[in-house]
Structure 1
Amino acid sequence: MVFRCVLAALPILSALQLSAAKGEAVRYRLFDTKAAMDDKTGWEWQSYPLGCGYFGWNVFGIPENERIQVTHNAMVTYRNLTNALEIRIRTGHVKPIRYRRELDVDTAVAKTEYSCNGIDYRREYFTSYPARTGIVRLTASKEGALSFDVSSQIPFITPFGDKDGFGRRGTVESTGDEIRVVQEMEFQGIKFAATIKVLSDGKVVPKDGMLQVSNATVATVLFACDTNYEVCPEMFMEGMRKEKMSKRNPVANVGKIMSDAVAKGYDKLKEEHVADYCSLYGRVRLDLGSDSSDSERKTSELLSLYRRGKRSAYLEELYFRYGRYLLISSSRPGTMPATLQGVWNMHRKSPWGCGYVHNINVQMNYWPAFSCNLAECFEAYAEFNRAFRPASAANATNFLSRYRLEIPKWEKVKEYGVWCVGSTVFPFEVAGGPGGHSGPGMGGLTTKLFKDWWDFTGDRTALSRHIYPAHRGMAAFLSCCVRDYDGKILSAFSSSPEQLTDGPWHPGQKKFVNTIGCGFDQQLIVSNNRDYIELKGLIGASDDDVSRRVSGQLEKHDPIQIGWSGQIKEFREEGYYGSLGEYRHRHLSHLVALMPGTLITRDTPAWLDAAKVSLDGRGDKSTGWALAHRICAWARTGSGDRAHRLLCGLLAERTYHNLWDSHPPFQIDGNFGAVAGMAEMLLQSHSGAVDLLPALPNAWKDGSFSGLRARGGYSVDCEWRDGVPVRAVVRKDGYAVPPKVRFGGVVVSASSVENSAFVYTGFPKQIVRLSPPSEVKVDRSSRTVSWKVSSSQGLSYRVLRNTRSAPGYDVLAKGLKGTSFRDESVDFAAEDYVTYKIVAEDESGNVSEGALHTCSRATAFDKARYIMSVRNLNGIEIAEKDLD
């Protein structure tokens, strides 16, 4: 039987239909002509990940002794996820020919094919979410030629009482046509059960914990597993956990799962799996003008060519689809959420414990959930968050006590649902509250996901169960985290995540910047609390102590400050960019108002320009996930070519052969963040309109997408040629009013309505790009601003000025024909900094990019100290002539 993923229904549009037909003809898959190496490197670089949310598989494709490594996100020791199980299928086929393995991203089915001794062998693998089952189908081209052994091993068995808390025991037994595995972890008494069953037209014999299959032509290996862990508040409560876990019987649950799977049979299981997967995956399509011949290249070859400068639109399309595949595979309703490694880990002691890290990583995991039409995948995290919030209330009060802040009465803590989050949450533990390397803004970074859930879906059930309670409890906490400092309401403890006092981290030196009111915390306090007030109105809640307190504070948080370099300040005490902390730090914590936040938009142009200065300072070289954040952030600024350059760097330097993201080591947030960034390049909706192609790079000259989502509950399709939309379609179920749609900052009206969808065709034929001015200089003594132009034919110039961290610019002059301007109203001595911006415009009103220059009150001493400090701590040379 052949199953293909059917794309989501498209509107009746000839051009888009032609593109869709092309998209269906191209197969999106990872493939290789060698098996993965049977070691840690092979697991990380080469194995193919499968998953159904309940568990994950890594398939190696080894002909003679297949390895399937199993991950279950509840198989933890203290603050650490460990390898759950190993499965082996031994055939003895040691000299195969015509070998090939692949992972079909369109159907979530993997395959291994080869020939040995004149017989063709084929294996097919998938993990079914509806059936909670993993399936391997083995076939031989010759009747009765299929013989193999199936075995299972419990990794890292350790006697109870181990000083490191890794105690683990279990049994593996075979009976009839089944292998039954039972494990127990010393930590928290976790119990794990698994069954491996073989259905075959040959002979199946149990022996020494294995199953021996002989004289078969077809065999199906079924796998099911479960634990006594349940996502619920009791798991995080010491006194309630044991009783709750004792009521779950994973052995019985696995028995039921397996009997249901057997009753369905292989064909039904596969049909059900593909239909379920494609119901999510098939909603979105992306065509960037790929060459279909690239689909016949090995994935490792595509990456190798890409590193050498041969860009592949197919690889970029595949990477986008693969990221959505990974999210569908690792996070579904009723499962545990995706960790730092999704649902895949082979290690005894996993990197960073495979926890849920809340100073950006777990949030980045879900950035593509809403824009890329996978809102259901967020439900796993939403339920997990709802489960741990009650336990985190004690951490919230402890944090407030530690910094001598006001603590609401305990009954109010419960009533308001007060909660906080530290850097990491594990399946049984909220590991402390804010402090150390990350401030209380982590909670606001988390609730932004919940606000996006509402903005993209309008789900009122989610609003009442998850979205509003999360914001209200966090607002209650954050409104107590602050003090009044000279009229500014600032976070009394504040830390920009993982930023160090003494430049880049090295062993033995780890001193984090702890301060008051850093950009990260201030921006996210404002973000959460503004959203809370909005949601409160939507739900019709009455005013209370929390809402009154929050409303009284909102306008005094001062979330954005601009510094002497014209940058968004990371710290209030910062002068020039990077004067405190690591200059090229991986985190963009002071730019969360840009991405994922919505405080910095095209409606705050001075803040947006300052964000670009900070992004330039951070640089384009970093870890995998940090490059993904940079892609998203540059896309939000409208800088498509810069965002694409970062995507190229991510694919070339931070991507393994199986397309997993390399921190290094493997971290899945980079995959998810990059997919979100690609979507941001094509469609944005965070500034009051549906913006088409807001950051389209020149490399994506022609293309189309369908099914991306915009805030307001819209689904959007768009086709473009030469960088300009040809036709776009926006739809929303039961919605009769056309949305505000923009391209290039210009509002476009719907030209027609087809099948309850709004169709837009009235786009400009081309984009006019004016040459921007350059080399802006300021002579303070004469208060004269001057600039250079490459060509002034038919152009005039505007002079804009920004001071005192205002979100916008004052217009000082427009319609200038010359290249200088005297600013009679400026008082340099009264300002901390002054930024001038010069833009060119033509007679049709087209405006160029701007050229900037920032003057500051920095003295010669300030400049010299800054230059020396950055050189000493970061190894970066700053020229004095570049400082003003």
Structure 2
Amino acid sequence: MDDFKLWYSTPAVNWNQGLPLGNGRMGTVVMAAPHREVWSMSEVTYWSGQVDPEPALAGGKRALEEMRRHFYSGNYDEGDRLAKQYLQPDKQNFGTNLGLCKVIIQFAEQSPDRTLEGSFRRELDLNLALAKAAWRNKDTTVYREVFASHADDLVVSRVWSDRSGGVSFSLSLEGETGSFHSTTMDDCTLKFEGQATENVHSNGNCGVSAEGYVKVVVAGGTVTGRDGRLTVHGADEAAIYFAVSTDYRKTGPEWKQESRVILDRALGKGYSSLRTDHIEDYAEQYNKVDIQLGTVSKSDLTTDQRIRSLAGGGDDDPQLFALFLQYGRYLTIAGSRANSPLPLHLQGIWNDGEACRMGWSCDYHLDINTQMNYYPAEITNLGDSHLPLMRYVEDLAAAGKSTARNLYGSGGWVAHVFSNVWGFTLPGWDTSWGLNVTGGLWLATHLMEHYEYSQDRAFLESTAYPVLQEAAAFYLDYMDIHPEYGWLVTGPSNSPENHFYPGTAGGTVHQLSMGTTLDQILVRELFEFCLKSIELLERDQEFGEQLREAVDMLPPLQIGKKGQLQEWLEDYVEAQPEHRHLSHLFALYPGHQITPERTPELSAAARVTMQNRMLQEELEDVEFTAALFGLGFARLHDGEMAYKHVSHLISGLCFENLFTYSKSGIAGAETNIFVIDGNFGGTAVIAEMLLQSYPGEIHLLPALPQAWSKGKVTGLRAKGNAEVDAVWEDGELTSATIRTFASGTYTLFRGERKTTFHAEAGGSYTFNRELDLIDQ
């Protein structure tokens, strides 16, 4: 038995049952059935849309002052009207990521032996990043395996049989857009071309172009090509190679040769070497973490059976949670590598076509979704996978300078509720949800996270600080002193996608106000990080003085009349108490302005906020909300509540392939729609239940539930550039080892016990259940 396989005894009849592969750029979802296999191919740069000129919304500071005056005086209607006039752009060619094509493999029909049970099996092996399938009829078994190679930048498959000449199939391509077409190059090669065009998010004419090849190589038998189809007959085995390149950010025709070069190089190596190099390259990242939760394994049950068992109330499958964590790490590696051209989007690097055809767009939402995609990257020891997001934020900061200047008359940079691959930084095209003035800053906090985990001074000096300093320059220029409170506030802006009544319930619903809690939390994080960086880098002292004065003027976190953490500067009545977003809990996670040890009153208020949401019969129960509940309760050291919510995520908000989804009818979703942030958010929940860290602090097993009373984990990361192993029995820590890659002083916590030790770079420190140092 293998605890880290997703496996099934039934065919994948649709996309939500298929198994994902990826190499950080290309993705595929493999839908395997006995006589048919379909690969849903995607490529992360295959976007519709284009760079559009920024529209002239040149109100600047004068317009800001006018609308702020109305918000301060309580005239929200007029403030809203002016915000729409000056801060609401028209929709242009924003675009969306699109699916590329389907590879359709039709195997020769043979009469199966109906007396044989379990004659079909398909699986995804997380240890090797291989999708496999096997089908047996009365005298032959046909085996298939597929992988997406990061090492060689293509998707590769092998089909073989235990009987000579037992492999026969046809292969064809089906485009996902009207502009796609394929041609037969020779008896074993198809060439395809396409352009990412659609009419919902752009004008139907603009988008990235792609070109690639599919080649089949056989041993024994024959392969012939005709009318866009390759046919294999009577082979002992066949290898399939799929390569694609796009013209994203490329000039000149040279890009068209890239996929041919990739294919020729792969053919020169051959299947066996490609497979070996793929596994070695993947394992370098995947093997950094191991996890065992409990002693009982149910890996003899199919994955869909295990999900249903958990949904039925079974809590005797702790390794399902370990599988979910490793699946999240697998998806991170598959979707985001150090050299990926773009970060993970709404569906990672995969694409089922659902978000493309409706108002959502398969894009980079900056008010939780893109951020949550990277919540587990650092703690689960995949910091290199974080790097594509770092580069994306750099590009966003460069693009956002014109928006800061044109919209607000300010220096620095700003981005709002969402972005694309064309440098979009304007507000969304309705201020009710589009005027999130700290969306770009929220994304940029990942620069802080990457530095705090890595302690990479070169990264801080060359990337993190320059981007964040420019962001801080914007807010210093843009923010305003509240005439009543004397606080320095943002606005007008919204608390992501939420609504309130300025007065009593039942009045006019509004979204915009001054000084939303999320804005203030993020600005405080920004200013304080910049101050620490200024001290460490010994630069920009005058700018530092401005930041210190500003920090002293920021509003405090406030507790409302219901005992909740206020979501807005004023204690407004919630118009949607069932709302899916919990943005103001950033202070609890991933931030640390609220902790049970340091801020017990605010911690209690954060708990009330979550409880109030949970009590709503009409709670907008979606994947990222379940993850946020789990993360919040984990940070409050409430293991049972964290376990409840991650259990619900896995058993109630996952398809059979363990992809998480957003429920139909919520936020305009037309069906239960795959959104990958729940996979990553849930992975982060499980990791945070086992380890939490702040600068100089490491908390062991801070939210351990009874269901995981015995276990061990190796290789989780702590802030300060350290790795942590922990072993526990009967709910109690038995030993922990801290490996430190930078010198410093750490305080280690386990429940009420704590110890402080000084670590050297390259040191290894082992502690017993009492946190006594027993080995170094």
Q: TM-score, length-normalised on structure 2?
A: 0.85
Gap runs ≥5 in structure 2 = 50-94, 198-204, 664-672
Which residue of structure 2 lines up, in the alignment, with residue 344 of structure 1? 350
Alpha-carbon distance in structure 2 between the residues aligned to 1:155 and 1:148: 22
Report the more deviating stretch, 256-265 or 392-401: 392-401
Alpha-carbon distance in structure 2 between the residues aligned to 1:350 and 1:290: 45
Report the more deviating stretch, 751-760 or 633-642: 751-760
Counterpart code for 2:124: L
Alpha-carbon distance in structure 2 between the residues aligned to 1:384 and 1:66: 35
1:299-378 superposed matches below 5 A: 299-311=303-315, 312-335=317-340, 336-347=342-353, 349-350=356-357, 352-378=360-386
Alpha-carbon distance in structure 2 between the residues aligned to 1:500 and 1:28: 43
The one-character-per-residue Cα deviations of 1:264-297 (angstroms, maximum 9, x if unpaired) are 21111111111111111110111110422x1110
SS class of match (2:333):
helix
2:727 pairs with 1:719 = yes
The one-character-per-residue Cα deviations of 1:593-649 (angstroms, maximum 9, x if unpaired) are 111112112212221121111111121752111110111111111111111111111
2:220 pairs with 1:222 = no
2:458 pairs with 1:464 = no
Report the more deviating stretch, 88-97 or 117-126: 88-97
Alpha-carbon distance in structure 2 between the residues aligned to 1:256 and 1:705: 42
Counterpart code for 2:524: V
Of all paired residues, the percent bearing the same amino acid is 27
Alpha-carbon distance in structure 1 between the residues aligned to 2:141 and 2:737: 48
Query: 1:422·1:442 contact (CA, 8 Å) conserved in 2?
Result: yes
2:283 pairs with 1:267 = no
2:185 pairs with 1:174 = yes
SS class of match (2:674):
coil
> Given the superposition, is the C-alpha separation of residues 94 and 488 from structure 1 closer, same or farther in structure 2, using an over 3 Å criterion?
farther
Which residue of structure 2 lines up, in the alignment, with residue 701 of structure 1? 709
1:29-108 superposed matches below 5 A: 29-37=5-13, 42-44=14-16, 46-78=17-49, 79-93=95-109, 96=112, 98-108=119-129
Alpha-carbon distance in structure 2 between the residues aligned to 1:327 and 1:248: 32
Counterpart code for 1:318: L
Report the alpha carbon displacement of residue 423 of structure 1 after superposing the two structures with TM: 1.2
Report the alpha carbon displacement of residue 107 of structure 1 after superposing the two structures with TM: 1.2
Match of 2:422 among 425, 428, 431: 428
Query: 2:144·2:160 contact (CA, 8 Å) conserved in 1?
Result: yes
Query: 1:27·1:106 contact (CA, 8 Å) conserved in 2?
Result: no
Which residue of structure 1 lines up, in the alignment, with residue 764 of structure 2? 757
The one-character-per-residue Cα deviations of 1:771-825 (angstroms, maximum 9, x if unpaired) are xxxxxxxxxxxxxxxxxxxxxxxxxxxxxxxxxxxxxxxxxxxxxxxxxxxxxxx
Which residue of structure 2 lines up, in the alignment, with residue 610 of structure 1? 605
Alpha-carbon distance in structure 2 between the residues aligned to 1:266 and 1:745: 55
> Given the superposition, is the C-alpha separation of residues 554 and 764 from structure 1 closer, same or farther in structure 2, using an over 3 Å criterion?
closer
2:44 pairs with 1:28 = no
1:663-742 superposed matches below 5 A: 663-664=662-663, 665-686=673-694, 688-733=696-741, 735=743, 739-742=746-749
Report the alpha carbon displacement of residue 56 of structure 1 after superposing the two structures with TM: 0.5
The one-character-per-residue Cα deviations of 1:830-853 (angstroms, maximum 9, x if unpaired) are xxxxxxxxxxxxxxxxxxxxxxxx
Counterpart code for 2:765: F
Report the alpha carbon displacement of residue 53 of structure 1 after superposing the two structures with TM: 1.1
Which residue of structure 1 lines up, in the alignment, with residue 470 of structure 2? 473
> Given the superposition, is the C-alpha separation of residues 370 and 753 from structure 1 closer, same or farther in structure 2, using an over 3 Å criterion?
closer
Counterpart code for 1:31: W
Query: 2:585·2:606 contact (CA, 8 Å) conserved in 1?
Result: yes
Query: 1:28·1:105 contact (CA, 8 Å) conserved in 2?
Result: yes
Greater relative contact order, per chain length (Cα 8 Å cut-off, separation 6+): 2
> Given the superposition, is the C-alpha separation of residues 216 and 565 from structure 1 closer, same or farther in structure 2, using an over 3 Å criterion?
same
Report the alpha carbon displacement of residue 50 of structure 1 after superposing the two structures with TM: 0.6
The one-character-per-residue Cα deviations of 1:222-257 (angstroms, maximum 9, x if unpaired) are 111110113xxxxxxxxxxxxxx3335332000111
Alpha-carbon distance in structure 2 between the residues aligned to 1:95 and 1:82: 38
Which residue of structure 1 lines up, in the alignment, with residue 585 of structure 2? 591
What is the number of residues matched between the two proteins?
A: 687
Report the more deviating stretch, 434-443 or 718-727: 434-443
Alpha-carbon distance in structure 1 between the residues aligned to 2:528 and 2:757: 32
> Given the superposition, is the C-alpha separation of residues 47 and 189 from structure 1 closer, same or farther in structure 2, using an over 3 Å criterion?
closer
Which residue of structure 2 lines up, in the alignment, with residue 144 of structure 1? 165
Q: Supply the RMSD in Å over aligned alpha carbons.
A: 2.3
Alpha-carbon distance in structure 2 between the residues aligned to 1:523 and 1:94: 64
1:110-509 superposed matches below 5 A: 110-157=131-178, 168-185=179-196, 187-201=205-219, 202-230=221-249, 245-247=250-252, 249-292=254-297, 294-311=298-315, 312-335=317-340, 336-347=342-353, 349-350=356-357, 352-401=360-409, 407-408=410-411, 418-433=412-427, 435-437=431-433, 438-485=435-482, 486-501=485-500
The one-character-per-residue Cα deviations of 1:723-763 (angstroms, maximum 9, x if unpaired) are 2211100012364x563211114323569999931111151
1:871-882 superposed matches below 5 A: none
Alpha-carbon distance in structure 1 between the residues aligned to 2:759 and 2:347: 46
Alpha-carbon distance in structure 2 between the residues aligned to 1:205 and 1:630: 55
Counterpart code for 1:591: L
Which residue of structure 2 lines up, in the alignment, with residue 537 of structure 1? 535
Query: 2:708·2:731 contact (CA, 8 Å) conserved in 1?
Result: yes
SS class of match (1:556):
coil
Alpha-carbon distance in structure 2 between the residues aligned to 1:26 and 1:189: 43
Report the alpha carbon displacement of residue 708 of structure 1 after superposing the two structures with TM: 0.4
The one-character-per-residue Cα deviations of 1:121-145 (angstroms, maximum 9, x if unpaired) are 0000110101101011000111112
> Given the superposition, is the C-alpha separation of residues 248 and 527 from structure 1 closer, same or farther in structure 2, using an over 3 Å criterion?
farther
SS class of match (2:529):
helix
Query: 2:363·2:419 contact (CA, 8 Å) conserved in 1?
Result: yes
Counterpart code for 1:68: W
Alpha-carbon distance in structure 1 between the residues aligned to 2:517 and 2:738: 36
1:562-577 superposed matches below 5 A: 562-574=559-571
Query: 1:283·1:707 contact (CA, 8 Å) conserved in 2?
Result: yes
Query: 2:3·2:319 contact (CA, 8 Å) conserved in 1?
Result: no
SS class of match (1:283):
coil
Counterpart code for 2:724: V
2:547 pairs with 1:550 = yes
Q: TM-score, length-normalised on structure 1?
A: 0.75
> Given the superposition, is the C-alpha separation of residues 580 and 198 from structure 1 closer, same or farther in structure 2, using an over 3 Å criterion?
same
Counterpart code for 1:542: D
> Given the superposition, is the C-alpha separation of residues 536 and 175 from structure 1 closer, same or farther in structure 2, using an over 3 Å criterion?
farther
Report the alpha carbon displacement of residue 188 of structure 1 after superposing the two structures with TM: 3.7
1:6-17 superposed matches below 5 A: none
Report the alpha carbon displacement of residue 441 of structure 1 after superposing the two structures with TM: 2.5
